[in-house]
Amino acid sequence: MVVGVHRPTQLVIDRQALRENIHAAVSRLADGCALFMVVKANGYGHGAVQVAQAAKDAGATGFCVAILDEALELRAAGFNEPILVLGVSDPADAPLMATQRISATVAAQDWLVEANEYLTLAHAAQPLRVHLGLDTGMGRIGFKTPAALQSAVAYLNDNDTLDFEGIFTHFSTADSADDRYFKQQVTTWKTLTGALDQLPRYVHVSNSATSLWHAECNANMVRFGVAGYGLNPSGTAVKLPYTLHPAMSLTSELVHVKKVAAGESVGYGATYTASQAEWVGTVPIGYADGYERRLQGFHVLVDGQPCEIIGRVCMDQLMVRLPAEYQRGTQVTLVGRDGDETISLQDVADYCGTIHYEIACGFTSRLPRCYRH
Q: Catalytic residue positions?
A: 40, 268
Binding residues, by number, are: 140, 315
Residue 181 lies in a domain: yes
Residues 256, 128 within the same domain? no
Q: How far apart are CA 112 and CA 39, in angstroms?
A: 26
Q: Are residues 60 and 172 in the same domain?
A: yes
Q: Are residues 166 and 256 in the same domain?
A: no
Tell me the three state secondary structure of residue 352: helix
Residue 242 lies in a domain: no
Residue 169 lies in a domain: yes
Choose the final residue of a domain: 173, 199, 229: 229
Residue 25 domain-assigned (yes or no): no
Q: Report the b/e string of 337-368 with b at 16+ CB within 10 A.
A: ebeeeebbbbebbbbbeebbbebbbbbeebbe
State how far the Cα of 141 lies from the Cα of 177, in Å rounded to an integer: 25
Q: What is the mean pLDDT of residues 11-23?
A: 98
Q: Longest C-alpha distance within the chain, in Å? A: 79
- pLDDT above 70 covers a percentage of the chain that reads 100
What's the domain range around 310? 248-372
Query: Can you tell me the mean pLDDT for 204-213?
Result: 97
Domain membership of residue 89 (yes or no) is yes
- CATH number of the domain at 304, please: 2.40.37.10
In the predicted model, what is the mean pLDDT of residues 215-238? 96
pLDDT, tens only, 228-279: 999 999 999 999 999 999 999 999 999 999 999 999 999 999 999 999 999 9
300-310 tens-digit pLDDT: 999 999 999 99
* Co-location of 310 and 175 in the same domain: no
For residues 170 and 266, membership in a common domain is answered with no
- Binding residues for substrate, by number, are 140, 315
Structural domains counted in the chain: 2
Give the C-alpha separation, 246 to 333, whole Å.
15
CATH of the domain at 191: 3.20.20.10
pLDDT of residue 300: 98
Letter for the amino acid at 237? A
Q: Does residue 261 form part of some domain? A: yes
* Mean pLDDT on 40-50: 98
Same domain? 219 vs 91: yes
Which of 197, 229, 261 is where one domain is finished?
229
Residue 1: per-residue pLDDT:
86
Same domain, 272 and 174: no
* pLDDT tens, residue by residue, 328-352: 999 999 999 999 999 999 999 999 9
Three state DSSP letters for 252-274: EECCEEEEECCCCEECHHHCEEC
Comparing C-alpha atoms, which of 254, 230, 255 is closest to residue 240?
230
The reply to whether 341 falls in a domain is yes
Residue 153 CA: distances (Å) to CA of 89, 133, 141:
19, 12, 17
Contacts of 336 (CB under 8 A, 6+ apart): 12, 248, 249, 250, 251, 301, 342, 343
